[in-house]
A and B are shown apart, each in its own frame.
Chain A
Amino acid sequence: MITIKELTEKPELFTAGHRACAGCGPAIALRQIMKALRGPTIVTEATGCMEVVSTIYPYTAWNVPWVHTAFETAAANASGIEAALKVLKRKKRITHEHVDVIALAGDGGTYDIGIQALSGAAERGHDFLYVLYDNEGYMNTGIQRSGGTPLGASTTTSPAGTVIPGKTQHKKPIADIMVAHDIPYVATASIGYWQDLMAKVRKGLEVEGPAFLHVMAPCPRGWRSDTAKTMEISRLAVETCVFPLWEAVNGEYGLSPISKAIALKPDRKKPVEVYLKMQRRFAHLFQPKFQHIIKEIQDDTDKRWNRLLKKCNIPQVAVSKT
């Protein structure tokens, strides 16, 4: 596993000077991802916060070839790039032995508007790594709900009102949807566990065919959280099993070390409340009239966690502390 020292010696391919907010989780994710590359790489990115903050003309934070075309096109872009590389290599019009292709998109660009292109590209089997940086909302356009926004979160299109407690739907299980595409590699990762994240980026690049990496990346602006607590919140998402870390290699699910440790010692699993409390997007849930939503979130978290344990063939049933 890579050490901090080795990390500092790696070139910054996503460089400083971009305009992301202080404590921006997705920007941290990109830096970690770009330090995990194995060779020549082309990156394509969907419209969204990370595209906007990193490429304000005439500046760019990218030291690799990078292209943006639209909001819903990350996977289609990657398909075109991969197809071009394949044929140009065959015709000996490029010299690189291999070029990796990475598509980056937020939750809006993945769960919602980009899912058709993503599903199509996965079905066609292009050799690329798709990274979803999930900040659980359309942040670039001012914190609107997406299919990845969790139950109870207040956003500008699912505002917590006096009668409606924020978003009334659950998060779509996007990574499971990608496993169902029968692609060689799917994993979840968190910027709070960067070694795990970087190892997964590498694996995703190494497999032949489509790979999908779902990275949880808090957005202090949208989550109304302390900019200094981004890493702590990221880790709590994992420790509460709101966002467990796992990978599915050729469809076989397995827990990643940190989540496995929780599975084996269920008292390590923290209640969701500690996670929710750190984010003011959930503040309204702590009013008496909406507190039942917290229980609903806990129950849903437990249900999904138990389901995951089954898929990973781990017999223990985790007991929640609440």
Chain B
Amino acid sequence: MAIIEQKTIPLNGDEAVAYAVKQSDVDVVAAYPITPQTIIVERFSEYVANGEVDTEFVCVESEHSALAASLTASLTGARAFTATASAGLALMHEMVYVTAGCRAPVVMAVTNRALSAPINIHCDHSDVMAERDSGWIQLWAENAQEVYDSIIQAFRIAEHPDLMTPVMVNLDGFFLSHTLENVQVLPDNVVRKFVGIRQYPLVSDTQGKKVPFKLDPDFPLTMGPLDLPDYYFEHKRQQEEAMHIAPKIIKQVHDEYAKLSGRSYGNGFVDAYNVDDAEIVTVCLGSTAGTTKTVVDQLRSKGIKAGVLRVRTLRPLPVEDIMRALENKKAVAVLDRSNSVGGQGGPFFHEIRHVLYGAQSHPPIVDYVYGLGGRDMPPALIQNIYKDLEEIAKTGKVKNLVQFAGVRE
């Protein structure tokens, strides 16, 4: 298949979300504004107001209702989308779990922002880290282009009848949401064909008859019932099983999309930049990868064998990919844009360090909590981290397991 001709338009990350949603034949959008996600809701409202989409836009009174309405719209058979950030995601928390547990393939953009207090509207990942264990697939974008591409892919992934698992697409607040980039967009009809019309898996009704999984008066199903100790555990286990087949579907969708658009993101799960022959490697999420790649280029030009591993799917966690990429390194640093207060390092550190426990060899691994509340992560700071890694690689000794990078001491 030939790569489709595409136009390039200037979009910031939020606009890239709205544009992708516009093209994806979404039936219901229920959302509530919060900085730095607001542009998504505003742009989409304009599309609705101008008749550019055939979507029911439910401008709800809270994020809790935003996700509740997206969830039930999805269970009624609609393709549903919502978006939020920070306090909004925290307010949704209850429904984040309910949505995954109901196996509703909702797609949600999360424009990552710090949690209060103190109140702060800027980027960090503490909002979404609180939802790590909720049962959603998590895609993380490095730039506005990837935001656009990932949103389109997310519908295909979430709604796959074997999966039926909601997907969130994370984009760094302001760094991505408000920064204008040149984004290549596919023609409307191509996206529409790619996402297709929602299909429904067949499930057994109370009489054992196979019926489509949706709220339909022709096939009455009871959804979201009371599940006691005799069944709840099995149902939660089924969510885990879905996560085991998710990689196959994520890969399929990523590769099919790559053929169409000419764009791919690593192997779909991790994006390894100069990692193969590297001795020292940082691991990160989101837009920080862009700066880090520049620093890696500088170090390489000086003959330092540095690399950066960007994780694209935090859930399901690509355990094998991360392990293979890191196990033979001399030193590894995790860049954590959130902290697990009192937990010895940030949540991302816990993820990566846990993966390495199963590796053949265990490189020394350290954590740098950085960028909380939108604090900048300039190249100089990243250079210092690589300098620390060189030292660790040389001595094999870790002086500080967890450090705060860029904070006033």
Nearest CB in chain B: distance from A36 CB, A: 16
Interface status of B384 (Cβ within 8 A of chain A): no
A64 CA to B221 CA, complexed, in Å: 7
Flag the segment in B76-84, B157-165, B177-185, B188-196 that touches A.
Answer: B76-84
From the candidates B28, B62, B72, B231, name the one contacting A69 in the complex (CB within 8 A). Answer: B72
B217: chain A residues at CB < 8 Å are 40-42, 64-65, 96, 99
Interchain nearest-CB distance for B129 vs A (Å): 22
Is there a chain A Cβ closer than 8 Å to B226's Cβ? Answer: yes
Q: Does A256 contact B (CB under 8 A)?
A: no
**Pick the contact of B60 from A81, A96, A120 — CB < 8 Å?**
A120
Q: Which residues of B contact A67 (CB under 8 A)?
A: 72, 75, 102, 215, 222-224
For residue A19, give the distance in angstroms from its CB to the closest CB of chain B.
Answer: 10
Top-9 shortest CB links A-B: A120-B61, A80-B69, A40-B217, A55-B225, A80-B72, A76-B65, A84-B76, A76-B68, A84-B78
**Pair B68/A83 contact, Cβ less than 8 Å:** no
| CB contact under 8 A between A93 and B77, given known A55-B222, A60-B225, A66-B223 | yes
B residues near A72, Cβ cutoff 8 Å: 64
Contacting A88 at CB < 8 Å: which of B27, B65, B102?
Answer: B27
Known A41-B217, A69-B68, A70-B98; judge A79-B224 contact (CB<8 A): no
Q: Is A58 close to B, CB under 8 A?
A: yes
**Do the beta carbons of B55 and A80 come within 8 Å of each other?**
no
B197 within 8 A of A: yes
> With A and B bound together, what is the CA distance between A68 and B104 in angstroms?
13
Which B residues lie within 8 Å of A96 (CB)? Answer: 217
B117: A residues at CB distance < 8 A: none
Query: Is A86 among interface residues, defined by CB-CB distance under 8 A?
Result: yes
Residues of B within 8 A of A60 (CB): 206, 222, 225
Contacts A51-B226, A67-B215 given; indicate if A124 touches B95 (C-beta within 8 A). no
Q: Are B78 and A88 in contact (CB under 8 A)?
A: yes
B223: chain A residues within 8 A (beta carbon)? 65-68
B61 pairs with A80, CB closer than 8 A = no
Q: Cβ of B228 < 8 Å from any Cβ of A? A: yes
Cβ of B56 within 8 Å of any chain A Cβ, yes or no, is yes
Candidate in B70, B76, B95 with the most chain A CB atoms within 10 angstroms: B76
Do B69 and A83 touch (CB < 8 A)?
Answer: yes
Contact (Cβ within 8 A) A68 B225: yes
A308 at the interface (CB under 8 A from B): no
Contacts of B62 in A (CB 8 A): 116-117, 120
Q: Which chain A residue shows the least CB distance to B78?
A: A84
Other A-B contacts than A69-B72, A83-B28, A84-B27, 14 sampled, CB-CB below 8 A, are A42-B215, A57-B231, A65-B220, A66-B223, A67-B215, A72-B64, A73-B64, A80-B68, A81-B76, A83-B69, A87-B54, A90-B54, A96-B217, A117-B61
A286-315 CB contacts (< 8 Å) to partner B: none
Instruction: Provide the bound-state CA to CA distance between A119 and B65, in Å.
Output: 11
**Contact-residue size bin, chain A (C-beta under 8 Å from the other chain):** 35 or more
Q: Which residues of A contact B222 (CB under 8 A)?
A: 55, 60, 62, 65-67
Residues in B with CB closer than 8 Å to A84 are 27-28, 56, 72-74, 76-78, 80
List residues of chain A with CB within 8 A of the CB of B219.
Answer: 65
Chain A 69-113, CB within 8 Å of chain B: the 1/0 string?
110110111111101111110110110100100000000000000
Q: Could you write out 30 A-B pairs with CB less than 8 Å apart?
A: A40-B218, A55-B222, A56-B228, A57-B228, A57-B231, A58-B206, A58-B231, A60-B225, A65-B223, A66-B222, A67-B223, A68-B224, A69-B68, A70-B98, A77-B71, A79-B72, A80-B28, A80-B58, A80-B69, A83-B30, A83-B56, A83-B58, A84-B56, A84-B73, A84-B74, A87-B28, A93-B197, A96-B217, A119-B61, A124-B58
Closest to B60 in A: A120
A123 at interface, CB cutoff 8 A: yes
Cβ A56 vs Cβ B226 within 8 A: yes
Q: Which of A52, A62, A94, A120 contacts B65 (CB 8 A)?
A: A120
- Inter-chain contacts of B206 with A (CB < 8 A): 58, 60
Q: Does B409 contact A (CB under 8 A)?
A: no
B59 interface residue (CB < 8 Å to A): yes
> Are B227 and A57 closer than 8 Å at their CB atoms?
yes
Q: Is A259 an interface residue (CB 8 A)?
A: no
Q: Are B220 and A73 interface neighbours, CB within 8 A? A: no
Alpha-carbon distance between A116 and B98 when the two chains are bound, in angstroms: 19
**Is A63 part of the binding interface, using a Cβ–Cβ cutoff of 8 Å?**
yes
Residues A79 and B76 in contact, CB atoms below 8 Å apart: no
Distance (Å) between the CB of B233 and the closest chain A CB? 12
Any A CB within 8 A of the CB of B94? yes
Return chain B residues, CB-CB under 8 Å to A135.
none
Partner of A65, one of B221, B226, B228: B221
User: Which B residue's beta carbon lies closest to that of A75?
Assistant: B65
Distance (Å) between the CB of A153 and the closest chain B CB?
27
A168-209 residues at the B interface, CB under 8 angstroms: none
A96 to B217, CA, bound (A): 9
Query: Is A76's CB under 8 angstroms from B60's CB?
Result: yes
Q: Which B residues are in CB contact (< 8 Å) with A64?
A: 217, 220
Closest A residue by C-beta to B215: A65
Asked if B216 is at the interface (CB within 8 A of a chain A CB), the reply is yes
Q: Does A44 contact B (CB under 8 A)?
A: yes
A70 touches B95 (CB 8 A): yes
- For A91, give the chain B residue with the smallest CB separation: B54
Closest to B66 in A: A76
B108-148 with Cβ < 8 A to chain A: none
In the complex, residue of chain A having the shortest beta-carbon distance to the beta carbon of B198: A93
Chain B residue numbers with a CB within 8 Å of A51 are: 226
Inter-chain CA distance A212–B125, complex, in Å, is: 41
How far, in angstroms, from A23 to B402 measured CA to CA in the complex?
A: 62
Given known A-B contacts A83-B30, A83-B78, A87-B54, A52 and B226 have beta carbons under 8 A apart:
yes
Q: Among A40, A58, A83, A85, which residue has the most Cβ atoms of chain B within 10 A?
A: A83
How many whole Å from B229's CB to the nearest CB in chain A?
11
Question: Residues of B contacting A40 with CB < 8 Å?
Answer: 217-218
